[in-house]
Structure 1
Amino acid sequence: MLRRRTIPVDLLRGVALLGIMMNHVFGATPESRIWWDFHAIGFALLIGVGAGLAVPTRGARRIPMIRALIRAAVLAAIGFTLEMLPNAGIHIILVRFAIVTALVTLIAGAPRRITPWAAGILLLAAPLTGWLWQIHDPSAFGAATGWPSALHQETWMRMLLLPYYPALAWTGVAVIGLWAIRTFRLDRPGSLRSLAGAGLLLTLTSLAFTWVAWHTIGMPAGVDLRLLADGEFPTFTHDWRWLLGIGAYLPTTPSLLLSSGVVLLALALCSWLCLAPSLRAVLTPVATIGAMTLTGYTVHVLLEGLLQQWAQATTTGQSDNPLAAALAGTGLQPPTGWLSYGVQVALLAVLLLSWQRLPGRLGRGPLEWLSRTAASVAR
């Protein structure tokens, strides 16, 4: 059963999951470009919203904070495990989101007055730090993944500072979410108008800043609209003017603020839709899926890995995965494009909506249950 105050948050999580699935299925095509990086930034911002809901502003905070940190550790463990399983080359973001969860939890336990300062410092300093470090010491960043990489300093440097998912800068996005949930009520129209206004202000200010900056001092060498939309920046460390720009997954202050503003607008819209009981009833299935995004994301990654193995088995006639070999033996071709996306969405919907009928905490998702069970040891 979903809690009413979290339905808009879970609804937006569900939409973000659909977006990230489309990104993995279609790659850099018009179908996925329409999402820009809003789905990924949405997950980061909603981590901050979750921290604001989990950690009280008054009273005892120690136990809620410890539980959130344990959940972050479980998230990292699942992420490292997925990196070692067949995953179709997907960049697994769970370990980075575990870092974001841990850092924003610590900020959530601090006095509220530091929240805007923390967001500002992270969003200004982290992109610049990452850019400078890549220029002056590129060997500091390792490419290893999976459990063995957890012992390498270079792994953590990459996850903290490198594109496309720099956890340190994205913690600033999460802090915006923390500030938003502690400043605005998601069940009051007046407060939602203010939330939408804040999102619109961030979006328009970022757009205006980049437009003025790039039209005044010029655009960086090698930039074009296609690269900005695809999230490819081959000359990123060659030209400091990138730091003034906006692009999908571009780790710069203006780009992060623009995407954060769009996500705040989306959160206001989801919350406004959920104010109407009839609409809330229609949207609850998506919110139910959104409440189990960890399980949904994991299943999606495993499905993508299976589809890749199926395709390889169809070509080579053999596979180490018995299921992939059996599917190839049917003579059927693995689904691609919209068919693959539709099949995966349908499978996830059936699985997660059926699972939520289970009683108690178990009905909130198998991996979510694991995370909460581990966190419950803190008393």
Structure 2
Amino acid sequence: MAGTEALEKPAPRGIRGKAGRIVGIDVARGIALITMAATHMLPVHGPDGHLTLSGFLFGGRASALFALLAGVSLAIVTGGATPKAGRDMTRARAIIAVRALVIGLIGLMLAMTDTIVAVILAYYAVYFLIALPFLRLRASTLMSLAVLWGVVSPQISFWLRGMLPDPPRGQVDLIMIFTDPASALNALLFTGYYPAFTWLTFILAGLAVGRMDLRAKGTAIALAVGGLVVAAAAWLTSGLLLELFGVTTPWSTENGPVVFSGWEINNIGWYGTTPAGDSVWLLVAGPHAGTTFDLIGVTGSALAVLGVCLLAMRTDLLRKIAYPVAAAGAMTLTLYTIHVLVLSFDVGDLGSKTYYLTHVIIGLSIAPIWLSFFAKGPLEWVVHEIATGIGTAAVPREPKRPVGG
């Protein structure tokens, strides 16, 4: 079939990674980067306190897409549909662990700047580490665990956060790691903006997807349709329950204090979790609520985006059109780092669509140019060399035995 052939061709010229690289994943990752930048640079709430279009479409969803794609990548580098075994898997785990530490260090250093961005990279490192025990599991087992964890973990988190100290002020950075490691761990696992304890849901779902045949058209359709249905069902169920139980809450807006009720409560953006004092907050599905409805809903939207990207990239014309986005998706660590650093300076007009689009256009221009000369982004190359070097030294490959004639 023509569609299958398109997927099995090498990546577009300029993305000089592995032959047969699945470009739809890069496009999805590029979309995650662009939409996450939108939540940093454009208003996510209007003066009346309601989500803007940007806030509704991208709030919580962009970062969840990033996390889910991290799980997909982990599955692919550990064997894809056929997980590695024995010494090969041990070496892969060692490389991933080192990679996590290096990315985490970059994130902790970025958090020490004056950036307005809630830096995700330290959380990313924790995601990689907690994923290590699950790397040998099959797709069906992983997806079942993802659903189970999405249902159970918010309730456990709610109970634990009721006993834990208040989260630390500011971001988890290198200084906090050394001066207050308990608070740093609390934030990274339970109370921060991207809490690893509940966000394991996205990693497990991504691992499950990465163990599927992502070159098959049926897989892409199932992800797109199934993800959309799950996302809509979670949002609608949450809204109906909020209406049914007559939930209301006062909220402060630019126009003054208002009272949100029922469906409107899902227009509130949270900071990774809802309050631990009242179990009614577990019904919410708003951005970064960390509830079951939030986790399952944004997992569905992430699966839908990935499925659509995989379908779209089966067409040569769309592959060529989307190449700048795919190139950006192939070097997101570098571009994200630049983005965070730029937003640490008081330049540009935050909230301006022109400033945001300029930011995006520059990023989409840098990536194709760089990848026309080099196989990886600069930070991607550094992380790869350190992780592969240390991981392979820790678990050396067995020498090939000579074959007798």
- The TM-score with structure 1 as length reference comes to 0.84
For 1:179, the equivalent position in structure 2 comes to 208
Distance 1:165 1:190 in 2: 32
1:351 to 366, 373, 394: 366
CA shift at 1:227, angstroms?
Answer: 5.4
- Determine if contact 2:274/2:289 at 8 Å carries over to the other structure: no
For 1:314, the equivalent position in structure 2 comes to none
Deviations 1:91-142 (A, max 9, x none): 1111011111221233123465642343234323332222223323334x33
Distance 1:68 1:125 in 2: 27
- 2:253 is aligned with 1:231: no
1:1-379 maps to which residues of 2 (within 5 A)? Answer: 1-3=16-18, 4-29=20-45, 30=52, 32-33=54-55, 34-56=57-79, 57-59=83-85, 60-87=88-115, 89-110=116-137, 114-139=141-166, 141-143=167-169, 145-151=172-178, 152-183=181-212, 185-219=213-247, 221-222=249-250, 223-224=260-261, 228-232=266-270, 236-306=275-345, 308=346, 310=347, 334-336=348-350, 337-359=352-374, 363-377=375-389, 378-379=391-392
CA shift at 1:70, angstroms?
Answer: 1.2
- Determine if contact 1:122/1:168 at 8 Å carries over to the other structure: no
CA shift at 1:201, angstroms?
Answer: 3.8
- Determine if contact 2:84/2:136 at 8 Å carries over to the other structure: no
Distance 2:136 2:176 in 1: 30
- Determine if contact 1:14/1:286 at 8 Å carries over to the other structure: yes
For 1:323, the equivalent position in structure 2 comes to none
Distance 1:43 1:246 in 2: 19
Given the superposition, is the C-alpha separation of residues 208 and 346 from structure 1 closer, same or farther in structure 2, using an over 3 Å criterion? closer
Runs of at least 5 residues in structure 2 that lack an aligned partner in the other structure: 1-15, 46-51, 251-259, 393-405
Larger relative contact order (Cα-Cα within 8 Å, sequence gap ≥ 6): 2
Distance 1:226 1:63 in 2: 49
The aligned amino acid for 1:286 is V
Distance 2:230 2:239 in 1: 14
Identity rate, percent: 24
Distance 1:146 1:227 in 2: 32
CA shift at 1:181, angstroms?
Answer: 2.3
- Determine if contact 1:5/1:186 at 8 Å carries over to the other structure: no
- Determine if contact 1:67/1:376 at 8 Å carries over to the other structure: yes
Distance 2:65 2:341 in 1: 22
Distance 2:70 2:208 in 1: 12
The aligned amino acid for 2:110 is L
Distance 2:366 2:299 in 1: 31
**Bigger mean CA offset, 292-301 vs 222-231:** 222-231
Deviations 1:139-182 (A, max 9, x none): 4x333532121131111111211253111111111111111221
The aligned amino acid for 2:226 is A
Distance 1:284 1:148 in 2: 39
**Partner secondary structure for residue 290 of structure 2:** coil
CA shift at 1:5, angstroms?
Answer: 3.6
Distance 2:298 2:183 in 1: 28
Distance 2:147 2:222 in 1: 20
Q: How many residues align?
A: 348
The aligned amino acid for 2:58 is W
**Bigger mean CA offset, 46-55 vs 98-107:** 98-107
**Bigger mean CA offset, 261-270 vs 100-109:** 100-109
- The TM-score with structure 2 as length reference comes to 0.79
**Partner secondary structure for residue 169 of structure 2:** coil
Given the superposition, is the C-alpha separation of residues 163 and 146 from structure 1 closer, same or farther in structure 2, using an over 3 Å criterion? closer
Given the superposition, is the C-alpha separation of residues 154 and 16 from structure 1 closer, same or farther in structure 2, using an over 3 Å criterion? same
